[in-house]
Structure 1
Amino acid sequence: MAAVNFELRSYQSDALNAFGDYLRKVPNLGARTAFMAQANLLYTPAPFLNEEAPYVCIRIPTGGGKTIVAAHAVGVAAAAYLQAENPMVLWLAPSKAILDQTLKALRNLEHPYRAALAADFGRNLTVLTVDEALSLSRPDASGGACIIVATIQSFKIEDKDTDARRVYRDAGSLMDHFSGLTDTQIARLDKVEGTHRPVASLANVLKLHRPMVIVDEAHNNQTPLSFDTLSRFDPSLILELTATPQTKSDPTKELYPSNVLYHVSAAELKVAEMIKLPIRLQTDADWKKVIGQALDCREALELEAKAEEAETGEYIRPIILFQAQSKSKTDPDRLTIEAVAQYLTDEMRIPRTQIALHGGGHRELDGLDDIASKTCEVRHVITIQALREGWDCPFAYVLCSVGELKSPTAVEQILGRVLRMPSARRKSRDTLNRAYAFVASKNFNDTAGNLKDGLVVGAGFDRLEAEELVKAHSGFQFSEDRSDYQHESDAIEDTPDSKLADVINAIQKLPPSIRAKVKFDTESRKLKVTGVVSRDQRNTMLMAFHKVPGAEKAVESLFIRSNRIQASELPQGDKVPFIVPQLCIYSQGELELLTRDHFLDLPWNLANCDPANFVDRYRIKDASTVGLIDTSNEGRMTVAFVGDVQEQLSMLVHEPAWTLPRLVNWIDRGIPHPDVTKPAAKVFISKALEGLMQRKNYALDELARYRAEIRRALKEEIDKLRKEREAGSYDALFAADAQTFETAADNAIVFDDQSYAYNQPYRGGHRFQKHYFKEIGDLNERGEEFQCAQYLDNHKDVRYWVRNVDRKPNAFWLQLPSGKFYPDFVALLTDGRIMAVEYKGAHLMEESRDKLRIGELWADASAGNCLFVMPTDRNFTVIDDAIKGV
């Protein structure tokens, strides 16, 4: 089998980390309190379902890869919550078409979805339809992960007649699942009427295995009937994935809100290169002109795509989606699918082989196995509104609607089809990083508004973000399309500080791939570049030329001209580059970015650690003793609930008698430790278990019974020991010679509007004037941190500032003992210096010692070019003192 390589985007990893962190909190805090602690939002249990079962939602806009997150979430839940290697998963797709698509991917050994599951469960994995699950064997159900892919319609019983659906009927092929059960297990199951025998049904098999339920496009399945149906299987947890979760709560109108645990923004998708944005819109009242404009756009894009392929090898064939009108008996002049097709073939001379009709009785997309293949000729798809559900073609670049878009619902289903980025990777030509819309309309503003509404209602984008996602399109000017065309920059001013040698040295610092296309004309003092300058190349050039005054304007002009960026897209005023140097350390004579590798030797020999403190503190806790740990009723019930789930799942696996090595292996498999070798981890775990048996008189069988709880406690102990080790090694850094450290602008963060990511945009009423980007990420509209932002915005010595968002790919960070430190704000001062600001409440100052030390080290290593300040208790005058050097 070919190796599968699919690296999760940072926001997908963040979503999964949030899901895992939440589930790890549930046993001690309860589903409700754990959610509030994780998401800082109120929690609403699902109707009809056990309130102790976690019910959460991950919100990812269209094009963000919900399904790959769902596939990884199975392993996260199994390890963090279920403590089981054989989870039963009921995966609910929104339609038969999506079901077939999902099923095919999960069964394809080379598909990333399957690879995600295989990474956690190996070959112990079964993927079934409902029909196949009706003859599910007991070994397949309990021997590993079992994924049943279905639609909820397969299980709904509107008339409450359990014989109406096969999943509730007695089936001889499932009898084996119910032999040898304990009375406790049998008591939970539905019985044959008048007897104590469990019904040998698929529904009872699910109930026996306490399934994890994944609900794709969850906004379609939030009726009371849907929740009532799910309650029949007694799920252990429910994970919803959708772009547009229900947020309103009104049981009288059958509106039940999702508990959104993690929300992905459009900015994160853009930074991750998942979607084409912005959407360039052009309107005209004449539908024939609109079609002509769309065709011209597609032809121009194909020329760009061929040039891109010549450079990178990536094949792209841009496709137009034509949105025609439905047929009407009273209006024979409507522009139906057939009418548009006839116009394209007869008037525009487009070969019929390049056109696919889908909708209104046509299903030509169904006959195309791989529309992305080089052998496929299709360049034009004509539909009415909904394409084949689940159709996913990143080659769709242009939306052309021949009728007015009078409402967001008229565009929401089709708009998402032109947003996905081919290969989920930005192209060197910015024209291939955008989507295009051509609409027959008399009013541009109304049409733009409906497109924005479609992005919010149908694609799941934030209202504030959508305002920036639709731009006017004024056509292409492709007179400079030759790949050998040389673009010229603005001249670099001839000043005593702009030395020719510095320009030459900067060019020599460039990577070979960029250096080969860049020239400098010493007479005109202009940079010249052959072909297109990508955004990454622009940023690399900015860092290389940072010592040449005025060079940043020349580099920016090259980027704008080579990508034909429209004047309307450019920022107002003279917006200079915002480059923040990072902290580096000399290592074997080379200047390197300071990371954990510079103070931690790996692997860590955990075997040398003494588990005595763990043995002294640990005692087995169950529902009867939880009151000593958590006096809340919710906490007591949750420990009982989670304990019951874990015990019920463990009882389904018939295992040989436990030995100490087997128990050690089981615990070790569930504790991630990439910095520790497996033998060292086993030695430590063995010593811990032996200590519990010798000093606490716990029997081996007793430890095995509570193995999930012990694994969780040992993980916490190992994490604690790891942090102690990291802190000690980190402290040694500050005893080093100060000359060991240096900041370097050619090893820096370049703040860029294409790479500024956040979770939520700022929604407050106060208008900031100096934020470097139009949107401000993750800033509350009140509080001390907000006041700090206001102080920076009003400061006469601050030219720009940026809300620096934690754990985003292009955010500024400094290394801590474990993890990274992201200062709250970074400011570019009017004199060119950089200032990082971390605001702390007075009660948090003591725990911020490491942040203060590394921030001051960064500033000291910058030779006066950088400042670090940590105001507290609203004392913002320390910002003034730092700027003045007081």
Structure 2
Amino acid sequence: MTAPTFQPKEYQNAALDRFRSYLRDSNSDGANIAFYKATNLPYRAAPIIAEGTPYICLRVPTGGGKTIMAAHAIGIAAQEFMQITNPMVLWLVPSTPILEQTVAALKDPEHPYRAALAKDFSSNITVLTKTEALCMSRADAEGGACVIVSTIQSFRREQASGEQDSEGLKAYQDAGALMGHFSGLSDQQVSGLERVEGADRPVASLANLLRLHRPMVIVDEAHNARTPLSFDTLARFSPSLILELTATPQTKHDPSADEHASNILYSVSAAELKAEQMIKLPIKLTTDADWQKTLGAALDCQTALEEAANAEELETKEYLRPLVLFQAQNASASDPTRLTFDKIERYLLEDKKIKKERIAVHTGPRKDLDGIKIDSRDCEIRYIITVQKLKEGWDCPFAYILCSVAEQVSPTAIEQILGRVLRMPKAQRKRRDALNCAYAFVASRSFDTTAQQLKDGLVEGAGFNKLEADQIIAPQGDIGYQQIAEQVRHQSDPIGDQDMPHQAVEAVLAKLPPSIKARVSFDQDTRVIAYQGPMSRENRNLLQLAFAKVPKAEKAIDRLFAKSNNLQTSAADAADKPPFVVPLLGFRKQGELELFSKEHFLDLPWRLDQCDPATIAARFKLVDHSQTGQIDVSDKGKVEIDFIKRVQGDLSAVIQEPSWTLPRLANWLDSGISHPDITKPSAIVFISKAVQRLIDKGTPLDVLARHKYELRKTLGLLISDLRGERETGNYSALFAANASAFATSGDLAMIFDDQSYAFNQPYSGPTKFNKHYTRLIGDLKPSGEEFDCAVHLDRSEMVRFWIRNVEGKSGSFWLQLPHQKFYPDFVAMLHDGRILVVEYKGGHLYPGEGDKRMIGSVWADASDGKCLFCMPTDRKFSLIDVTIQA
């Protein structure tokens, strides 16, 4: 059966792209320089690990999908760095429960983790535990991707006390089943392996087998593997590279104290997770000194959420059963008043009359969740009682409410259970806002102290940015379902004109999603919109877009939104803030206005086979990288690059490849070049012609096959350059011949809001901005020319709101360029309703940005004066004022 498709989230792709670029640069620049090139940060070599080993970290907050990213990273590393089709991977996890969970998922053909591997290795995948690896066949090790999942503890030869670890030693002892892996090795291969004492043959151990295959090492929850013993264990495997994944990487670097910072290559923000609908935010907090009131409030919240979930299911068919996680206190012989798990269970059973089958205890001797499929419709459990944390690896998006009566010991301890209520079911926002939030009820006398503890827990335990955490914890208000139950209908001010035809409004209503359509009605006589229940921000935005062409509708819907939310509006300014709607550029094709994109100037598929590959002979130059000889250790860059070449040489020596033919080589080269705009037959023809040209120029086929990775890289760059020439030519020709086809329309628009506004890092400078549309400002440095441009916009009397438009995010404004999308720096809403887009360019960059100025002007001209565009440079911000007043 075919594995399911799973498209990585936008931030996951961005992190993996950074990983890919880093590995490519490491091939030519070394691990150190490549890291600085990617981050502008100093590179910290891992202790004990061989110098030159790429050792980097992807920081992903709780709920961000680290495991799926790790699965995708294997194919990237094999192709870009290890340069083999059969990598060996040592995947280290922090605990046995997570090991079992990870192995089961990677072995399951129907699981997205396995699908991520299959994308790069098809069915040539072997997934093993350490026990299984101790008897793996040579075919398992060499036939494709071989992934060994284990804990780092199970590979340690000695314990922290210095005593031998009998379990860990198994990986270093002779294993008869592994003997066949060590036959036919060269002297160079044997020289790097541990040998049997008093003999010349290598120990037939799993550790030696790993060392022979120079594995990629993945360290999940890497903050748990920072001791000298852990690094010593990793060094025993001679890894080709080490990839860490964690929410809370080590940032302090003090080797004298055995503190070694991770090299954070990419850091994912909470805003990105929220925009991708991965987590429930904000966390609504309620505190009360009375523990019984605290528990009662949590139970009431669960009842309200379950009613909301039932209503949601009627509309979307998605099953939800919101759970409460009760955090009890530890038992103490000296303090019989402590609120232990049994007391809470008894209170729920006897005082609240909750059915026994709805309660599960998972702590100490009680493991009620073992073997339970918590998300099954047949499961009755709604209340789970624990102490410090649930079993590692437990993950159920149905968990919505944390109710804690425990003393809060540390931020990390808080996060261990708080993180369980953050995941969004099916990674998809719900139509009811109450189901998009998480809830915390804490027995405490101080709301502020408790809120700060939760914020600290999100930062130190879940990997969130401090500024983001400050916005995540919010006071709990009325959940708002009393009004929904009473079916209150709220009426708007009149919209449109007296003579507006009824059919025009009916056409608008017909286009609305069913969930909104069921709540909305229109009275033709009074021209009033009626909306049933509290209106969510998302529904407000959809109504604004739908009624964009109807006179007087925008402000009427704004006021209707505020009126319907009189019990659940959390901020006074939010109700008065109009939706930030920005028209996108359209192109009229066969009478229909479509969003302008590449398909309007590029015919697909591209006939690459009709292009001339003649320049391949000048581009592809063979360089002899010897695997032997002296290494100049004083030249650090050379050491790192030599390390990479030695790794690639060691890996290629493990496998004896069959003889190559031109068709086989062409197909292999094509398999590693991404070309969604080209059919495979067309690509094969072009690649075959390019290889044949090299053969005609005197390079034998077997030599080309030996250097196939360098050849594939060169071919990929050649195809990319040819693609660029095609895109530039077609783009210019389109504008020359179809200038009148561009237009904007209310039907083609995007909208900025807090939910979809994603960024990499929040602005943290001292200057306060008063007009930014969202509370946090994304990716704005606290000084520099772009910062000064933002200050000018914020202080302009003509600007009502502005927003930092973050590059590359799905919720950002963009315009199409020949090769990629253009994301201008700022978008502003003026007091008169017009939209201003500003792209700032430094003086040295301005001359080369003609395409951006052209498409910006086309967009503004197509809007009939509703939109403006300018590109100030050299701090001449007066151009912004001139553009507005023109």
Q: Provide TM-score, normalisation by structure 1.
A: 0.95
- Listed one character per residue, the Cα deviations across residues 51-100 of structure 1 (whole Å, up to 9, x for unaligned) are 32211111111111111111111111112222211010000001111111
- Listed one character per residue, the Cα deviations across residues 104-134 of structure 1 (whole Å, up to 9, x for unaligned) are 1111111111111112111110000101100
Letter in 2 for 1:15: A
Q: Distance in 2 between matches of 1:769 and 1:849?
A: 33
Q: After the TM superposition, which residues 512-551 of structure 1 pair with which residues of structure 2 at under 5 Å, given as runs?
A: 514-515=516-517, 517-522=519-524, 524-530=526-532, 533-551=535-553
SS of the residue aligned with 2:474? strand
Q: CA RMSD in A?
A: 2.3
Partners of 1:89 and 1:213 within 8 A in 2: yes
Shift of 1:745: 2.3
**Cα separation, partners in 2 of 1:726 and 1:493, compared to 1, 3 Å:** closer
- Listed one character per residue, the Cα deviations across residues 522-575 of structure 1 (whole Å, up to 9, x for unaligned) are 455431134665544332211122234542343345555667762333536732
Q: Which of 269, 273, 288 pairs up with 2:292?
A: 288
Q: After the TM superposition, which residues 432-511 of structure 1 pair with which residues of structure 2 at under 5 Å, given as runs?
A: 432-482=435-485, 485=487, 487-492=489-494, 506-507=508-509, 510=512
**Partner residue in 1 for 2:781:** 780
Letter in 2 for 1:728: G
Shift of 1:196: 2.7
**Partner residue in 2 for 1:629:** none
Shift of 1:675: 1.1
Letter in 1 for 2:548: H
Letter in 1 for 2:595: L
Aligned length: 878
**Residues 1:810 and 2:811 aligned together:** yes
Stretches of structure 1 lacking an aligned partner (at least 5 in a row):
627-631
**Residues 1:271 and 2:301 aligned together:** no
Letter in 1 for 2:528: K
Q: Distance in 1 between matches of 2:690 and 2:496?
A: 71
Q: Distance in 2 between matches of 1:16 and 1:108?
A: 23
SS of the residue aligned with 2:244? strand
Q: Which of 407, 417, 428 pairs up with 1:414?
A: 417
- Listed one character per residue, the Cα deviations across residues 375-396 of structure 1 (whole Å, up to 9, x for unaligned) are 0010100011111111101111
Q: Distance in 2 between matches of 1:681 and 1:334?
A: 71
- Listed one character per residue, the Cα deviations across residues 676-713 of structure 1 (whole Å, up to 9, x for unaligned) are 12222122222222222222x22222212111111111
- Listed one character per residue, the Cα deviations across residues 638-676 of structure 1 (whole Å, up to 9, x for unaligned) are 443322222322222222222222222221111111111
Letter in 1 for 2:611: C
Shift of 1:175: 0.9
Letter in 2 for 1:685: I
Q: Distance in 2 between matches of 1:754 and 1:335?
A: 38
Partners of 1:660 and 1:686 within 8 A in 2: yes
Shift of 1:398: 0.8
Partners of 2:305 and 2:434 within 8 A in 1: yes
**Residues 1:364 and 2:364 aligned together:** no
Letter in 1 for 2:860: A
Q: After the TM superposition, which residues 46-445 of structure 1 pair with which residues of structure 2 at under 5 Å, given as runs?
A: 46-158=46-158, 159=162, 165-368=169-372, 370-405=373-408, 407-445=410-448
Shift of 1:489: 3.9
Q: Distance in 2 between matches of 1:867 and 1:855?
A: 8
Identity of aligned residues (%): 56
Q: Bigger CA drift: 132-141 or 11-20?
A: 11-20
Q: Bigger CA drift: 524-533 or 766-775?
A: 524-533
- Listed one character per residue, the Cα deviations across residues 422-472 of structure 1 (whole Å, up to 9, x for unaligned) are 111111000111111111111111111111111111111110001111111
**Cα separation, partners in 2 of 1:692 and 1:569, compared to 1, 3 Å:** same
The ranges of structure 1 where at least 4 consecutive aligned residues each deviate by more than 6 angstroms after the TM superposition are: 160-164, 493-502
Q: Distance in 1 between matches of 2:261 and 2:144?
A: 33
SS of the residue aligned with 2:684? helix
**Partner residue in 2 for 1:596:** 598
Partners of 1:623 and 1:639 within 8 A in 2: no
Q: Bigger CA drift: 276-285 or 676-685?
A: 676-685
Q: Provide TM-score, normalisation by structure 2.
A: 0.95
Q: Distance in 1 between matches of 2:129 and 2:52?
A: 29
Q: Bigger CA drift: 661-670 or 147-156?
A: 661-670
Q: Distance in 1 between matches of 2:635 and 2:566?
A: 64
Q: Distance in 2 between matches of 1:326 and 1:266?
A: 32
Shift of 1:873: 1.6
Letter in 1 for 2:72: H
Letter in 2 for 1:347: D
- Listed one character per residue, the Cα deviations across residues 13-52 of structure 1 (whole Å, up to 9, x for unaligned) are 1111111121111111211111122223222111111232
SS of the residue aligned with 2:856? helix
Letter in 2 for 1:232: R
Partners of 1:839 and 1:870 within 8 A in 2: yes
**Cα separation, partners in 2 of 1:720 and 1:173, compared to 1, 3 Å:** same
**Cα separation, partners in 2 of 1:737 and 1:647, compared to 1, 3 Å:** same
**Partner residue in 2 for 1:829:** 830
Q: Distance in 2 between matches of 1:160 and 1:232?
A: 18
SS of the residue aligned with 1:746? coil
**Cα separation, partners in 2 of 1:637 and 1:215, compared to 1, 3 Å:** same
Shift of 1:230: 0.6
Q: Distance in 2 between matches of 1:560 and 1:367?
A: 47
Q: Distance in 2 between matches of 1:578 and 1:288?
A: 44
**Cα separation, partners in 2 of 1:120 and 1:664, compared to 1, 3 Å:** same
Q: Distance in 2 between matches of 1:176 and 1:18?
A: 39
Letter in 2 for 1:26: S
**Cα separation, partners in 2 of 1:333 and 1:840, compared to 1, 3 Å:** same
**Cα separation, partners in 2 of 1:511 and 1:735, compared to 1, 3 Å:** farther
Q: Distance in 2 between matches of 1:857 and 1:122?
A: 46
Q: Bigger CA drift: 678-687 or 64-73?
A: 678-687
**Cα separation, partners in 2 of 1:561 and 1:884, compared to 1, 3 Å:** closer
**Residues 1:578 and 2:577 aligned together:** no
Q: Distance in 1 between matches of 2:54 and 2:686?
A: 33
- Listed one character per residue, the Cα deviations across residues 565-589 of structure 1 (whole Å, up to 9, x for unaligned) are 6233353673221111000000111
Q: Distance in 1 between matches of 2:300 and 2:559?
A: 27
Partners of 2:478 and 2:568 within 8 A in 1: no
Q: Distance in 2 between matches of 1:694 and 1:633?
A: 39
Q: Distance in 2 between matches of 1:302 and 1:154?
A: 43
SS of the residue aligned with 1:147? strand
SS of the residue aligned with 2:749? strand
Shift of 1:618: 2.1
**Partner residue in 1 for 2:717:** 716
Shift of 1:404: 4.1
Partners of 2:660 and 2:701 within 8 A in 1: yes
Q: After the TM superposition, which residues 566-715 of structure 1 pair with which residues of structure 2 at under 5 Å, given as runs?
A: 566-571=568-573, 574-623=576-625, 633-695=635-697, 697-715=698-716
Q: Distance in 1 between matches of 2:512 and 2:325?
A: 41
Letter in 2 for 1:467: D
Q: Distance in 2 between matches of 1:123 and 1:277?
A: 39
**Partner residue in 1 for 2:631:** none
Q: Distance in 1 between matches of 2:264 and 2:563?
A: 43
**Partner residue in 2 for 1:746:** 747
Q: Distance in 2 between matches of 1:768 and 1:284?
A: 35
Partners of 2:496 and 2:553 within 8 A in 1: no
- Listed one character per residue, the Cα deviations across residues 487-513 of structure 1 (whole Å, up to 9, x for unaligned) are 314324788999988756644554566
SS of the residue aligned with 2:586? strand
Partners of 2:828 and 2:836 within 8 A in 1: yes
Q: Distance in 2 between matches of 1:512 and 1:457?
A: 42
Q: Distance in 2 between matches of 1:92 and 1:71?
A: 13
